[in-house]
Amino acid sequence: MDLTMLGLRTGVRGLAAAQEALDVVGQNITNANTEGYSRQAVNLVNTPAFRYPGANTPIGTGAIGSGVEVANIQRQRDVFLDNKINTETATLGQNEILRDGINQIQDQFGEPSANGLASVMTNYFSAWDQLSTNPESSAARSQVQQAGVALSQSFNSLYQGLTQIRTETDNKIQNAVTDANTFTSQIAGLNGLISQAEGLGLKANDLMDQRNLALQKLNKIVNVQSQIASDGKMLVSLQGRQLVGPAGAQALGTQPGSPTSTNTLESNLTDVTFNGQVMQPNAMGGQLGAYFQLRDQVIGRSDFNTLTTPAPAGLSAYGSAFPPPFGAPGTAAWNTPNGMLYKLDQLANSLSSQVNALHSAGSNLYGALNVPALRNFFTNPPTANLVSTTFVGAQYMSLNTGLVGTGAVALIAAGNGAGSGPGDNRKAQMIAAIRDVQTPIDPTLPPPASAPPVTTVSDYYRNFLSDLGVKGQTADRVAKNQTALIDHLNQQQQSVSGVNLDQEMTDMVKYQHAYNASAKVISMYDQLLDTIINMGGGH
Amino acid sequence: MRVTNKMLYDNAFGAASDQLDKISNLQNKLATGKAIQRPSDDPTAVNQSMLLQTTISEQAQYSKNIDQSVTWLDATDSALNDANTVLQRARTLAVEGASDTQSASSRQSIAKEIRLLKEQLRGIANSQVTGRYLFAGSQTLVQPYPAFNMPNGGPVYNTAMSPLNAGNLDDQSSLGVQVGPGTTLTYNTTGVSVFDKTIDLGPPPAPTNVFQTLENLATSLDNNQTSAISGAITQIDQRIDKVSLARADIGGTRNRATLLQDRYKTSQVSLKGLLSQYQDVDMPQLVSDLTQSQQVYQASLAASAKIIQPTLMDFLH
């Protein structure tokens, strides 16, 4: 006995399956260019067979198929690749930011060029040389004044430029924290929706794509660890602290830097906090880690001239005892003062103190020593309230105000000492020769200060600048490598989860035909039924 | 490997943007003529080129210093040459005056010329270059042998020239310039060493300086004292030796200065060549690189245009 109704039912199932498959094809096609989208595939299964008794057997010939149905819609994704991409993205983000930041710092120095600090220093020494060939000349003397002003202003503007970049970087830390919080709360929100759907036995494919994308973007900002819990929720942690937990996201915070020093400049910089605790900047990774690196290590701090008197406790043993969070005593000091600011300060101070020592002992055009207040060539401005008045660093270094102006040209001390004639040029010669003097420029560099290497001022400058160049070059190289690597990984992921339009078109044609064919089956049964129904009719 | 359309788009975009990046880099180099824009482009080359730049400008300054000292040396040499001529003339006159054939009146007229020569020599001892006295040590702005200071008819060295220098020898101090790292070139000749009593000048009353010698000679001529006249000849001879010695010194220094100057000129050329290797672009290479990059860029665009367009959609109706 034939079951006509079973055939109809099979046809209807075919129609429904083809329609659902076409829906998925449509979804795939429209999302072909959506960031983070994973291709979805329809898994069709045949529905349970219907036992069908046969003519020759009491039990039946076996089973007859009852049609088709969509078992599930599967997300095509390689999770291992996702994890790899996330990790590499953090490294990429970090090195891109480092590279850009170092470029910005290098542009500040503007080397190599005719206007960089190297040339200004050379010009300064040349001015003294020029004065030594004609010490009686006011023109040569005022040239020394001008060169002195130019040199100190170069130092001032470099210092200012660097602190400005540091402030900008600090602002970026705050922005990065805001962005990171956006992503963690997004992940937490998606967690809720996904676990809800999974609880109902549904596959939340599209939500998982979005969550994955959010995690990747979060990883670019800061290097987090993630895992999927048994209930389908994604848990995200940073330095062992759960940013996204089962209950939801907890935001990172920012607060002004540690108030353990009276250093006004430093205390305005930002710390990142979680639950009231300060996070270690050296374990951040990603863009946030790079901002910290730029702020605290590349640019760094140099407290010689920025502190107000009296010096805060702990800073007297300079370089060894910095207040937490930046490297507690005994640990690798994160914020060891050997960044650009520190080096610039050391350079300025070494140069000023060498010039000052000679200039103080020299005689002016009248053959006399200057009055004590005018003996130093470079000084800090009298208004600055500094820890050390003898340390003439890059920030405040300036030509002694008493030596400024045309009236003061005669006070430039070119002569050897009291009683020298106006033609005596020995101190001028010696000051010009400072360029060749090997001296320990970094006397306080930790640890230990036993034998700081000697170097000339221009070598010192040249070398710390090329050190910076090497850092920039490394960051650039790593960023390029990471880009290539991530491109490659993305290609692999694309190969799994990307949408191939040809394939979708083929599927579309396939399911369209399946739909048509199923319709044909139904219409065939329609005719069969029609035949049966009209059989009893009056012929 | 399964290939998707997005991979093709990404590839096409990636390749084209890589090429554009290269082209922009090359363009930047061509526009500035500099191979290095930042230290991170090539830290070693930047380090070297900064060192070279410093060395070049230092040497340029040393060259200038040498020029300055050569001017001074030449002026001194020509002044001492004049002094020599004057002293030779004085010697000739002294020999004439010592001759027994001379009458008292002719000796008096010789004495007149000797006094004129003395004035001329004083003028020479007060020679200046660019407003600075050559023979005054570091007291370059004060006349070393002023006319008003002429006890016994001969100027003495102006010891009172500096009110601050009680017992100080600044008027005898040497003037030098830096002509190399740690190298000083002394370019002045002090008046004391040439014109003053730095030689054994015979029995008292010994003349304190060359002017006194000439004045004494003139007085002897006036007074017809032939033996004293002969004594003066020896003194003039010694003085001529002194001048010759100073000139020999100057010649030596002048040679040293010229040698250094030549060396700096040669090394400037080679250092500048080296600097250019580090920081200047190789134009032909760069232009050919640019052409190549442009071709690759165009090729990648053309390929992308062909690859990206068709999908199965174009063939379904």
Domain positions in chain B: 61-275
Q: What is the pLDDT of residue B249?
A: 93
Nearest chain B Cα distance for residue A491, angstroms: 6
Q: A182 pLDDT band (50/70/90 cuts)?
A: very high
Above 90 in pLDDT, residue A271? no
Contacts of B141 in chain A (CB under 8 A): 136, 421-423
Q: Across chain B, what does the average pLDDT equal?
A: 85
Above 80 in pLDDT, residue A532? yes
Q: What is the pLDDT of residue A325?
A: 32
Report the DSSP pairing between strands A439-440 and B176-180.
unpaired
Nearest CB to B46 within list A366, A466, A471:
A466
Nearest chain B Cα distance for residue A488, angstroms: 10
Q: Give the tens place of pLDDT for each residue, B86-105.
A: 999 999 999 999 888 888 89
Nearest chain A Cα distance for residue B290, angstroms: 21
Q: Do A498 and B51 count as a contact with CB atoms less than 8 A apart? A: no
Q: Which residues neighbour B101 within 8 Å (Cβ) at sequence distance 6 or greater? A: none
Nearest CB to B312 within list A419, A420, A501:
A501
Q: What is the pLDDT of residue A423?
A: 87
| Higher local confidence (pLDDT), A429 or A338 | A429
Above 90 in pLDDT, residue B75? yes
Q: B197 pLDDT band (50/70/90 cuts)?
A: low
Nearest CB to A106 within list B38, B175, B184:
B38
- Closest residue on chain A to B140 (Cα): A423
**B5, B9, B157: best mutation site toward chain A, by most A Cβ within 10 Å?**
B5
Q: A55 pLDDT band (50/70/90 cuts)?
A: low
| Distance between CA atoms of residues A87 and A286, nearest Å | 9
The residue ranges of DSSP E strands in A364-435, in sequence order, are: 378-379, 398-399
Distance set, CA B174 to CA A379, A423, B36, B250, B305 (Å): 32, 10, 46, 13, 81
Nearest CB to A498 within list B7, B36, B65:
B7
| Distance between CA atoms of residues B139 and A131, nearest Å | 16
Q: What is the pLDDT of residue B153?
A: 65
Q: What is the pLDDT of residue A261?
A: 35
Structure tokens at A385: 């309230």
Q: What is the pLDDT of residue A5?
A: 73
Helices (H), A370-456: 426-432
Q: What is the pLDDT of residue A208?
A: 92
Q: Do B64 and A32 count as a contact with CB atoms less than 8 A apart? A: no
- Closest residue on chain B to A369 (Cα): B164
| Distance between CA atoms of residues B261 and B179, nearest Å | 9
Three-state secondary-structure class, residue A456: coil
Q: Give the tens place of pLDDT for each residue, A61-114.
A: 566 778 899 988 999 999 899 999 999 999 999 999 999 999 999 999 988 888
Contacts of A490 in chain B (CB under 8 A): 10
**B54, B76, B161, B188: best mutation site toward chain A, by most A Cβ within 10 Å?**
B54
Lowest mean pLDDT among A231-240, A406-415, A417-426: A417-426
Q: Do A423 and B7 count as a contact with CB atoms less than 8 A apart? A: no
Contacts of A25 in chain B (CB under 8 A): none
| Distance between CA atoms of residues B107 and B209, nearest Å | 23
Report the DSSP pairing between strands A225-228 and A234-238.
antiparallel
Give me the phi and psi of A132, to 5 degrees please. Answer: -65, -25
Q: What is the pLDDT of residue A380?
A: 86
| Distance between CA atoms of residues A368 and A362, nearest Å | 8
Reduce the secondary structure of A31-53 to three states and give it as a string.
CCCCCCCCCEEEEEEECCCEEEC
**In a 10 Å sphere around its CB, with 0-12 CB exposed, 13-18 middle and 19+ buried, how is residue A270 labelled?**
buried
Q: Give the tens place of pLDDT for each residue, B202-231.
A: 554 556 678 888 888 999 999 988 888 888
> Residue A225 belongs to what H/E stretch?
strand A225-228
Contacts of B136 in chain A (CB under 8 A): 421, 423
Q: What is the pLDDT of residue A156?
A: 93
**Among candidate residues A119, A157, A134, the one with its CA nearest the CA of residue A409:** A134
Contacts of A458 in chain B (CB under 8 A): 50, 54
Dihedral sign from CA coordinates of B42, B45, B48, B49: negative
| Higher local confidence (pLDDT), A337 or A47 | A47
Contacts of A419 in chain B (CB under 8 A): 162, 164-165, 168, 170
Q: What is the pLDDT of residue A367?
A: 84
**A37, A108, A129, A431: best mutation site toward chain B, by most B Cβ within 10 Å?**
A129
Answering whether pTM is above 0.80, one says yes
| Distance between CA atoms of residues A56 and A54, nearest Å | 6
Q: Do B46 and A471 count as a contact with CB atoms less than 8 A apart? A: no
Nearest CB to B2 within list A416, A424, A500:
A500
| Distance between CA atoms of residues A232 and A194, nearest Å | 7
Nearest CB to A502 within list B38, B42, B311:
B311
Above 80 in pLDDT, residue A317? no
For the ranges A46-60, A211-225, B134-148, the one whose mean pLDDT is highest: A211-225
Contacts of B131 in chain A (CB under 8 A): 136
Q: Do B181 and A433 count as a contact with CB atoms less than 8 A apart? A: yes
Q: Which residues neighbour A418 within 8 Å (Cβ) at sequence distance 6 or greater? A: A363, A367, A368, A369, B164
Q: Do B139 and A466 count as a contact with CB atoms less than 8 A apart? A: no
Nearest chain A Cα distance for residue B277, angstroms: 14
Q: Which residue bears the tokens 């692999």?
A: A492
Above 80 in pLDDT, residue B162? no
Q: What is the pLDDT of residue B205?
A: 54
Q: Do A134 and B139 count as a contact with CB atoms less than 8 A apart? A: no
**Among candidate residues A392, A400, A382, A389, the one with its CA nearest the CA of residue A354:** A392
Q: Which residue bears the tokens 């349970």?
A: A48
Contact A418, A426 (CB under 8 A): no
Above 50 in pLDDT, residue A447? no
Q: Do B6 and A499 count as a contact with CB atoms less than 8 A apart? A: yes
Nearest CB to A129 within list B49, B65, B139:
B65
Q: What is the mean pLDDT of residues A203-215?
A: 91
- Closest residue on chain A to B71 (Cα): A133
Above 60 in pLDDT, residue B84? yes
Contacts of A476 in chain B (CB under 8 A): 40
Contacts of B169 in chain A (CB under 8 A): none
Q: What is the mean pLDDT of residues A208-237?
A: 93
Contact A43, A11 (CB under 8 A): no
Contacts of A134 in chain B (CB under 8 A): 68, 130, 132
Q: Across chain A, what does the average pLDDT equal?
A: 83
Complex ipTM value? 0.83
Q: A448 pLDDT band (50/70/90 cuts)?
A: very low
- Closest residue on chain B to A126 (Cα): B61
Please report, for chain A, the start and end positions of each structural domain, with discontinuous segments joined by +.
Answer: 4-76+498-535
Which residues are A227's β-sheet partners? A235
Contact B138, B170 (CB under 8 A): yes
**A133, A437, A455: best mutation site toward chain B, by most B Cβ within 10 Å?**
A133
Q: Do B173 and A469 count as a contact with CB atoms less than 8 A apart? A: no
**Among candidate residues A427, A257, A406, the one with its CA nearest the CA of residue A355:** A427
**8-state DSSP, A369:** B
Q: A354 pLDDT band (50/70/90 cuts)?
A: very high
Above 70 in pLDDT, residue A387? no
Q: B166 pLDDT band (50/70/90 cuts)?
A: very low
Q: What is the pLDDT of residue A62?
A: 62
Helices (H), B99-171: 104-125
| Distance between CA atoms of residues B269 and B260, nearest Å | 14
Q: A56 pLDDT band (50/70/90 cuts)?
A: low
Distance set, CA B107 to CA A445, B96, B99, B204, B221 (Å): 82, 9, 10, 23, 5
| Distance between CA atoms of residues A278 and A173, nearest Å | 14
Structure tokens at B83: 């002094």
Q: Do A423 and B138 count as a contact with CB atoms less than 8 A apart? A: yes
From the CB of residue A205, how many other CB atoms can be counted at a distance below 10 Å? 22
* CATH of span B61-275: 1.20.1330.10
Q: What is the mean pLDDT of residues B134-158?
A: 75
Nearest CB to B57 within list A32, A122, A424:
A122
Contact A344, A471 (CB under 8 A): no
Q: What is the pLDDT of residue B199?
A: 55
